[in-house]
Amino acid sequence: MIHNITGKIDFIESLRGKKATFMLAMSNTDTANIEGITQAGIPGKIYLTPTLDSEFLTTGEVRSLGNVAATPKGVPTPALITRAIHLLNPFSNIELINLGLEKLPKIDYFKIHDFSIKPSGSISDGANIDAQSLFQQGVAFGQKYKCKDDYIILGESVPSGTTTAKATALALGYDASKNFSSSFKDVPNDVRENTIQDALKNISLNDDIFKILGSISDNMIIFNAGFILGLNNSTPIILAGGTQMVCVLLVVNKILEVMQGEIETSNLALATTSWIANDTNSDIEALLNMCNFTINSYYADFNFFGSKHPALKLYDDGEAKEGVGAGGALVYGMINGLNKEQITKQVEEFLK
Amino acid sequence: MIHNITGKIDFIESLRGKKATFMLAMSNTDTANIEGITQAGIPGKIYLTPTLDSEFLTTGEVRSLGNVAATPKGVPTPALITRAIHLLNPFSNIELINLGLEKLPKIDYFKIHDFSIKPSGSISDGANIDAQSLFQQGVAFGQKYKCKDDYIILGESVPSGTTTAKATALALGYDASKNFSSSFKDVPNDVRENTIQDALKNISLNDDIFKILGSISDNMIIFNAGFILGLNNSTPIILAGGTQMVCVLLVVNKILEVMQGEIETSNLALATTSWIANDTNSDIEALLNMCNFTINSYYADFNFFGSKHPALKLYDDGEAKEGVGAGGALVYGMINGLNKEQITKQVEEFLK
């Protein structure tokens, strides 16, 4: 089942049976190197997470390291969910967007869009991104992009991305301090909050928006805000993610405010997991409602209640709530006839 | 399993794995307001049936009324079957054709072809349709229609449509008095027959064919006869229905006779339910054989023997035999790998 967060069911129903391109936007930020800030990956190798996620998603193999990226408690990456969907009811295309990776995935045949973007710095010291140029690269990409399928599902893999997303929203003046999610169950508020407070000291609310973004955001957020504006409603696109993807929308919203522009959003939607939609530590609906435009947003009624695997029970306990487009992939699977049992069984196969 | 009524299995086998656009032709006729003539809908709200059917088919929600259209004995609309197929193995597109609805469905994103057609009058007083103009609209639509998929499945939702279909066939001189189906198990012959006899009094067999059709038929039948001739075998099309869809063919046949024309029918087929194919109160095969052209026709070997739900047992008892393209949808599901158990389970889900 698919449920609305905001809007109506019609948009997603109209995509039933249609073909999708899954795009994965990947980037590294040195913010992830701050001790204890993220659990997206292997300690000491956290920067490899998007590389490994994209290898596993496309090939089923983890090539740049021995094992699938897992958290300290053994929660595997949500890439398992996205890959499971791809095996059961394949996306028609998978394309990767390199928005500043430390290490390229070792894969052939799959399209990797490359823009010579470098990993960004830690927001505690200023991320050091040329945000205006990066944003414009995103706009140009959206304007020229020709989708081979009926719609796009856009996921992300950015270690410590919820921290940069929250910092971004606060820096842009949104009253969002209690609304952001974390991949941790027991959110390490001290480390995260200290980092965000440090980052906010580097900027002033009166700064130019691109100066703010360049100091406190990440490449994924800035580029995709441009991508969405460049697409300009011409192709249906589902932002597959949680509060990080909502932050992309908040940036779009702020840029439109500054530029006194408008955007048609009938072909723009967001899809996430039930772990995000029902998270008591964050409020994605409140964040969505901070935009001046309205979009259709959804979550997939999926959980691992039917599984006995201890690593998967941890998802239900609130670890690793979203990422690698897992929520959007689940919605895609469900509008193409997959059910919870099939998906659970496939994910369990990976853990054998 | 799929069985032939007429022709060979090859046509439908050649569509295995191919993509389908499901089109629903909807219209209202005041004939349905005659007390006791139809069970397609909620008493007093029968005119809403096609509106509700199309809402449920596309969105899974009934928006113009609280509950799914059901008959007095509690038999739900065959739209449940068509929607179940769409959930399990989606059609690639659903498009609606408004051929004179009292009330438009409340849906976004789905294509609704509109021709500013008004609901038709009761055939007992003369249906008051400009049949030639309507037919020509159908021809023009067929000539310009570009199918996005490999083939079309054309269903209908027209309350009291079996009555107008039977009246149409008789008025055109077909010896079909014992061959027409009804959505009732115990066909209310008195009301239906009296209406048809009243209708026949309004016309003369020597009248121009469009004068006859305009007095005694319905918008769905007349428009689709034009649609089929306009398509002219260029796109494979499955008429998904029972004796109403055969009546469309009888009209095509009569128009070709009058105009001394011919039509290639290798891409024209009909698919219906086992409840129609095995109905002892009607004879679809005899009706099909009244055409001068031959077409491939099929029925899906599907029933609710495997269900314990009392509402679904009524289908097997002969209530609500066809409609909303249920037979064609079942055939589509079966050539795409669905089995009886999956379909039954999904329909039962709706009734929980």
A217-254 pLDDT, tens per residue? 999 999 999 999 999 999 999 999 999 999 999 999 99
pLDDT of residue A15 exceeding 70: yes
Distance CA B240, CA A284 (A): 44
pLDDT of residue A42 exceeding 90: no
Cβ pair B86:A10 closer than 8 A: no
Which residues of chain A does B149 touch, with a Cβ-Cβ cutoff of 8 Å?
none
Strands A111-114, A268-273: pairing kind:
unpaired
The pLDDT value given to residue B67: 61
The pLDDT value given to residue B241: 97
pLDDT of residue A73 exceeding 70: no
Which residues of chain B does A294 touch, with a Cβ-Cβ cutoff of 8 Å?
none
Cβ pair B109:A14 closer than 8 A: yes
CA B211 to chain CA centroid, nearest Å: 23
Provide the percentage of residues in chain B whose pLDDT is more than 90: 82
Which residues of chain A does B93 touch, with a Cβ-Cβ cutoff of 8 Å?
17-18
Provide the percentage of residues in chain A whose pLDDT is more than 70: 95
Adjacency order of strands within the sheet including A296-300: A2-6, A296-300, A268-273, A237-240, A151-157, A20-26, A93-98, A111-114
Which ipTM value was assigned to this complex? 0.88
Nearest to A213 by CA among A159, A160, A172: A172
The pLDDT value given to residue A310: 87
Stretch B210-221: mean pLDDT: 98
Question: What are the φ/ψ torsions at residue A263 (nearest 5 degrees)?
Answer: -140, 140
The pLDDT value given to residue B150: 98
Domain A2-351: which topology?
Rossmann fold (3.40.50)
Stretch A10-31: mean pLDDT: 98
Answer whether A337 touches B (CB < 8 Å). yes
In angstroms and rounded to an integer, the radius of gyration of the C-alpha atoms of chain B is 18
- Closest CB from A10, A17, A335 relative to B109: A10
pLDDT of residue A188 exceeding 80: no
pLDDT of residue A326 exceeding 80: yes
Answer whether B185 touches A (CB < 8 Å). no
pLDDT of residue B319 exceeding 80: no
Stretch A312-336: mean pLDDT: 92
The pLDDT value given to residue A96: 98
Distance CA A349, CA B229 (A): 53
Adjacency order of strands within the sheet including B2-6: B2-6, B296-300, B268-273, B237-240, B151-157, B20-26, B93-98, B111-114
The residue that leads in pLDDT, A282 or A298, is A298
The pLDDT value given to residue B45: 86
Stretch B173-191: mean pLDDT: 78
Kindly list the domain boundaries of chain A, sorted by start residue.
2-351
Residue by residue, DSSP assigns B66-102 as SS--B-TT-PBPTHHHHHHHHHHS--SEEEEEESS-S
When pLDDT is cut at 50, 70 and 90, the band that residue A180 belongs to is confident
Measure Cα distances from A329 to A68, A304, B311 in Å.
Answer: 19, 15, 35
Give which of A4, A12, A14 to mutate to test B binding, by max B Cβ within 10 Å: A14
The residue that leads in pLDDT, A331 or B281, is A331
Provide the percentage of residues in chain A whose pLDDT is more than 90: 81
Distance CA A46, CA A49 (A): 6
pLDDT of residue B74 exceeding 70: no
Stretch B154-180: mean pLDDT: 94
- At position B183, the amino acid (one-letter code) is S
Stretch B193-213: mean pLDDT: 94
The long-range contacts involving B54-57, CB below 8 angstroms and separated by at least 24 positions, are: B54/B24, B54/B26, B54/B96, B54/B105, B54/B107, B54/B157, B55/B105, B55/B106, B55/B107, B56/B80, B56/B83, B57/B22, B57/B24, B57/B82, B57/B83, B57/B86, B57/B94, B57/B324
Residue of chain B with shortest Cα separation from A89: B89
The pLDDT value given to residue A34: 92
Neighbour tally for A281: CB within 10 Å: 16
Compute the 3-state secondary structure of chain B and give helix, strand, coil in percent, each to the nearest 5.
Answer: 40, 15, 45
pLDDT of residue A183 exceeding 80: no
Stretch A276-288: mean pLDDT: 94
Answer whether A66 touches B (CB < 8 Å). no
Distance CA A32, CA A49 (A): 11
Burial of B259 (0-12, 13-18, 19+ CB in 10 A): exposed
The pLDDT value given to residue A339: 95
Distance CA A138, CA A210 (A): 14
The pLDDT value given to residue B244: 96
Which residues of chain A does B89 touch, with a Cβ-Cβ cutoff of 8 Å?
17, 337
Distance CA A46, CA A208 (A): 32
Mean model confidence pLDDT for chain A: 93
